[in-house]
Amino acid sequence: MAKLILIRHGQSMWNIKNVFTGWVDVPLSANGISEAIEAGKQLADINFDVVYTSMQIRALETAMIALAQNNSDKTPILLHTEAKLKEWTTIYDDEMKKNMIPVHHNWHLNERYYGELQGKNKTKTAEEFGEEQVHLWRRSYDVPPPNGESLEDTAKRTIPFFKESVIPELKTDKNVLISAHGNSLRSIVMYIENLSKEEIVQLEIPTGKPILYEYEEDKLIRI
């Protein structure tokens, strides 16, 4: 049966600095690279058919580093949609086309947009606005940070994408890897596991730890 693996990117350089990142394109830290390698070793025997990542480098790095540990001889290849890039990255050999794992990056999987908190230290922000207010911005379901997205807003883009792009792949028995972010993945887990608003705000998804599901009879079951 088809498998779905969700993985939050490895530790980023701003995770270390305790900074709100959101859509800022920050790369993995050295520890984040190690986390991606370890995750890849755990997933080494899964023959992936398709990969989805956010547009952000830390999610793409995590996917590619993890797949470099895979026992399959397939090559993960990032597919471009821009006209000239799409044309100039065409593969003209049929054998190599069959040998690739298509990697799609899509903004619908991006991290929650933190608006005017992006780039701010979380501790200093709590000192400025109060711990209770910052906790509300970070952990409530429907309260957004200033000019940013709430988790509810994030779910409005991630869940339709998941239904339209990922579920059809699982229905054709393809093994799918999604490399994304704490909040974009929380919203997807909320949908998969039918969690309430109260339950989802309590869910923590650690960096670099794969979450595995099997798709059977139109249902995803965590394994």
Catalytic residues: 9, 111
Q: Is 88 annotated as a binding residue?
A: no
Q: Is 190 annotated as a binding residue?
A: no
Token match 């939050």: residue?
Answer: 8
Tokens of 166: 């990922």
Residue 65's region, left for phi above 0, alpha for psi from -120 to 50, else beta, is: alpha
Interatomic CA distance for residues 214 and 111, integer angstroms: 25
Q: Is 183 annotated as a binding residue?
A: yes
- C-beta of residue 51 within 8 angstroms of C-beta of residue 179: yes
Q: Is 80 annotated as a binding residue?
A: no
Q: Is 9 annotated as a binding residue?
A: yes
Interatomic CA distance for residues 93 and 100, integer angstroms: 11
Q: Is 157 annotated as a binding residue?
A: no
Q: Is 52 annotated as a binding residue?
A: no
Q: Is 130 annotated as a binding residue?
A: no
Q: Is 13 annotated as a binding residue?
A: yes
* Extended strands (E) in 17-96: 50-53, 75-78
82: exposed, middle or buried (Cβ count in 10 Å: 0-12, 13-18, 19+) = exposed
Length of the chain: 223
As annotated, the binding site includes 8-15, 21-22, 58, 111-114, 122, 138-139, 182-183
> Residue ranges for the binding site for substrate?
8-15, 21-22, 58, 111-114, 122, 138-139, 182-183
